[in-house]
Amino acid sequence: MNVIEVNGLSKSYGKVKALDSVSFSVKRGELFGLIGPDGAGKTTLFRLLTTLINPNEGSATIEGLDISKDYRQIRPLLGYMPGRFSLYPDLTVEENLNFFASIFGVRVKDSYDLIAPIYQQIEPFRKRQAGKLSGGMKQKLALSCALIHNPSVLFLDEPTTGIDAVSRSELWDMLKNLKEKGITILVSTPYMDEASLCERIALCNEGRILGIDTPKGIIKQFKSRLYAISADNMYSLLEAARQVEGVVECYPFGQMHHLIADATFDTRSFMDQLESLTNLTIESAKPTIEDVFINLMKQ
Amino acid sequence: MRQFIVLLQKELIKIRRDSFLPKLILSFPILIMLISPMLATMDVRNVNVAVVDLDHSTTSHRIISHIKASEYLSLVGATSEFDLAMERLEEGRVDVIVQIPDHFERDMGVSTPEKISIIANAVNATKGTMGTQYVIQTIAHALVEVRNEKNPNQMSELVTVQNRFNPTLNYRHYMIPALMIIIFILVCGFLPALSIVEEKEVGTIEQMNVSPVSRFTFTLSKLIPYWAIGIFVLIAAMMIAHLVYGLLPAGSFWVILLGTVLFILTISGFSLTAANFSDTMQQIMFILFFFIMIFILMSGLLTPIDSMPDWAQTFTLLLPPRYFVDILRSVYLKGTTLSELWQDFVALGSFSVLFNILAAVTYKKQA
């Protein structure tokens, strides 16, 4: 059975269509990622699914409960960690945790086993006010508070934005552990490199979903030819390559430029046309999720 | 119930840990009660008087010495040149000019003399009118004295004035209840609204909205601390009024308390409604400031409602502070009882119910 079922969900703010008939489903115990740049509609989707706002069109269910009609029954089932730190900054770590436990009518010790791996890392600072914690510690506390009532679905809106690389990888480890305990997790991130850490991902852009699959499956969808090119003057190369026939898209990718080509593209004539550039190289490259994303956006 | 207790605890911790709020709550009523009555007084002192004495008689000298002796007036010069005095008035160094005409004393005994003229600078209307009044009184006193010395049998005073409920016409006694109301508006109106909007700005309200906490419980947990603070402020303000200004309520304390409770309920319900429509601190500050200006100017706090134009008098019926001003002043100064003020209490009670229902209805957990 699917824990989250979304059917043609749309939400507009005035004339801006933040979400345009989005549909997907998440299975029990799945770690599902929403990948997309800022403004893709990820946060709107989260706010809809956490019953904070109502959709204009379409419907969605969580554990079979409708997000508009049954929001009262849904709320105790979900844990929500918004993109912005939103615990009480004046309360200490310990007070925040106790507060959220009491709000949901549970005791900290009841679900301590679930949060222990996360909470133990910040327990030495339990007397410190939450507002004075570092970014990574704030996230851990927020995650602990979101988990304190043992929710069946966990919503994490950009949990890795604005924290350091070590904390980021720690957070993904925590999510994997939680998943193993049977919690369904919906997580959003603007970082393409984090997509491979999810079981299934949905690529979204401008309120629409471009594709849903496992990270590997998404990469397999990439049917075009992909090359990595370089030259001494990388900027002129980018400009020039975009003019060549058969080039669908050319964009910087790390130290190289990635070039998506269609069937008419020929490497030899490409080299000939750009011979004025020194140290020009071209080799075929393996597509990553970012390449898939750019390719899907182009279509 | 446990939910409610932790919400309340959270509010108290927040108020206590705030570096600014507890100090404000404590010092605000004390400062307003101590300082404002001294400044907000309609008594006019230090009226500068210039006397243009063309008579140079005992009577005119008597008038000058009376002006000199008055605690409200200060004599800045006696000349015989009107133009010089007028020049000083224009410069602002003189507020009132008294001109005693030539042969005033001589004519007074025989027939109707040429009148003493008083010229006042009325840019500051209060100082102009009040100053003139003081000068007239002082001169009248001097003249009566002179006349009595000449004809001791003559009836001197024909009119007596008695000011009931505020015998010394002390403007402070009129102001103190009004100041208490301003404090309630600020402490119980501003603070809970700011606290809710702060939760919106910080984002914590979202965590509350996805939790099973009902909006009623949440709102009530915001209000109760400020209600308690309101009662504390009432007692503090009444003690200051008693200890510093010697003003004790002429009526029952319990009537004042009942009125205060109803008013606090009204104003906090009102401000929560305003908070429901604001997303940022700037918005709520401007909304509240707008209404508070209207409350202060139009509820009879500073100027009596009876002297407003008719349309404005009708409009004041919609302003909750108007009823509380009436209650507090009547009980404090006149000792009016609950049964005499029932209309005010019914109005205030209805407003408190109305605004609190409005606050609960407009608070959306879902948009």
For residues B62 and B73, is the Cβ–Cβ distance under 8 A? no
Provide CATH code, domain B47-150. Answer: 3.40.1710.10
Q: What is the pLDDT of residue A271?
A: 85
Nearest CB to A86 within list B5, B18, B202: B202
For residues B294 and B284, is the Cβ–Cβ distance under 8 A? no
In angstroms, rounded to a whole number, what is the distance separating the alpha carbons of residues B37 and A63? 64
Element (H, E) at A249: strand A247-253
The closest alpha carbon to A33, from A206, A216, A200, A171, belongs to A200
CATH 3.40.50.300 domain position(s) in chain A: 2-214
Q: Which contacts qualify for B115-124: CB closer than 8 Å, 24 or more apart?
A: B119/B86, B119/B89, B120/B95, B120/B96, B121/B89, B121/B92, B121/B94, B121/B95, B121/B96
Contact list, B5 vs chain A (CB under 8 Å)? 102
pLDDT tens-digit profile of B266-318?
Answer: 999 999 899 988 889 999 999 999 999 999 888 888 888 888 889 989 999 99
CA distance B215 to chain A (A): 12
CA distance B3 to chain A (A): 5
| pLDDT more than 90, % of chain B | 19
Using CA atoms of A34, A37, A40, A42 in order, give the dihedral in degrees to the nearest 10: 40
Q: What is the pLDDT of residue B270?
A: 92
Contact criterion met (CB < 8 Å) for B204 and A82 = no
- pLDDT (average), residues A50-59: 89
- Residue A255 pLDDT > 50: yes
Comparing alpha-carbon positions, the chain A residue that sits nearest to B6 is A99
In angstroms, rounded to a whole number, what is the distance separating the alpha carbons of residues B144 and B124? 30
Confidence of residue A40 (pLDDT cuts 50, 70, 90): confident
For residues B322 and B305, is the Cβ–Cβ distance under 8 A? yes
Nearest CB to B203 within list A50, A82, A99: A82
Q: Is A70 on the interface with B (CB under 8 A)?
A: no
Q: Which CATH superfamily is domain A2-214 in?
A: P-loop containing nucleotide triphosphate hydrolases (3.40.50.300)
Q: What is the pLDDT of residue B86?
A: 86
CATH 3.40.1710.10 domain position(s) in chain B: 47-150
Confidence of residue B367 (pLDDT cuts 50, 70, 90): very low
Residue to mutate among B17, B204, B207, B366, with most A CBs inside 10 A, is B207
Q: What is the pLDDT of residue B320?
A: 92
Which positions in chain B have a beta carbon within 8 angstroms of at least one beta carbon in chain A?
Answer: 2-3, 5-7, 9-10, 13-14, 17-18, 202-204, 206-213, 366-367
Contact criterion met (CB < 8 Å) for B13 and A91 = yes
Confidence of residue A92 (pLDDT cuts 50, 70, 90): very high
Strand-by-strand arrangement of the A225-230 sheet: A247-253, A256-261, A225-230, A281-284
In angstroms, rounded to a whole number, what is the distance separating the alpha carbons of residues B254 and A297? 72
pTM of structure: 0.77
Confidence of residue B365 (pLDDT cuts 50, 70, 90): low
For residues B59 and B214, is the Cβ–Cβ distance under 8 A? no
For residues A244 and A270, is the Cβ–Cβ distance under 8 A? yes
- pLDDT (average), residues B194-200: 89
Confidence of residue B168 (pLDDT cuts 50, 70, 90): low
Contact criterion met (CB < 8 Å) for B366 and A51 = yes
pLDDT tens-digit profile of A198-220?
Answer: 999 999 988 899 889 998 998 88
CATH 3.30.70.100 domain position(s) in chain A: 222-298
Element (H, E) at B49: strand B47-53
Q: What is the pLDDT of residue A254?
A: 85
- Of A13-22, B61-70, B86-95, B105-114, which gets the smallest average pLDDT? B105-114
Nearest CB to B18 within list A80, A90, A105: A90
- Residue B155 pLDDT > 70: no
Q: What is the pLDDT of residue B157?
A: 57
Q: What is the pLDDT of residue B154?
A: 58
pLDDT tens-digit profile of A100-138?
Answer: 999 998 888 888 888 888 898 888 998 999 989 888 889
Q: Is A75 on the interface with B (CB under 8 A)?
A: yes
CA distance B327 to chain A (A): 39
| pLDDT more than 90, % of chain A | 31
pLDDT tens-digit profile of B312-340?
Answer: 899 999 999 999 999 998 998 888 888 88
In angstroms, rounded to a whole number, what is the distance separating the alpha carbons of residues A136 and A119? 12
In angstroms, rounded to a whole number, what is the distance separating the alpha carbons of residues B270 and B188? 10
Comparing alpha-carbon positions, the chain B residue that sits nearest to A146 is B207
The two structure tokens encoding residue A179? 């998943």
Confidence of residue B88 (pLDDT cuts 50, 70, 90): confident
Contact criterion met (CB < 8 Å) for B210 and A54 = no
Provide CATH code, domain A222-298. Answer: 3.30.70.100
CA distance A21 to chain B (A): 19
**Number of Cβ pairs < 8 A linking chain A and chain B:** 72
Contact criterion met (CB < 8 Å) for B212 and A53 = no
Contact criterion met (CB < 8 Å) for B2 and A87 = no
pLDDT tens-digit profile of B209-266?
Answer: 888 888 888 888 888 998 999 999 899 999 998 988 888 888 899 999 999 999 999 9
pLDDT tens-digit profile of A147-201?
Answer: 999 999 999 999 888 888 888 888 899 999 999 988 999 999 988 888 889 999 9
Contact list, A80 vs chain B (CB under 8 Å)? 206-207, 210
CA distance B12 to chain A (A): 11
- Residue B109 pLDDT > 90: no
Contact list, B201 vs chain A (CB under 8 Å)? none
Confidence of residue B163 (pLDDT cuts 50, 70, 90): low
Q: What is the pLDDT of residue A7?
A: 92
Q: What is the pLDDT of residue B21?
A: 80
**pLDDT averaged over chain B?**
85
Strand-by-strand arrangement of the B73-79 sheet: B73-79, B47-53, B96-100, B117-120
| pLDDT more than 70, % of chain B | 93
Contact list, B7 vs chain A (CB under 8 Å)? 103
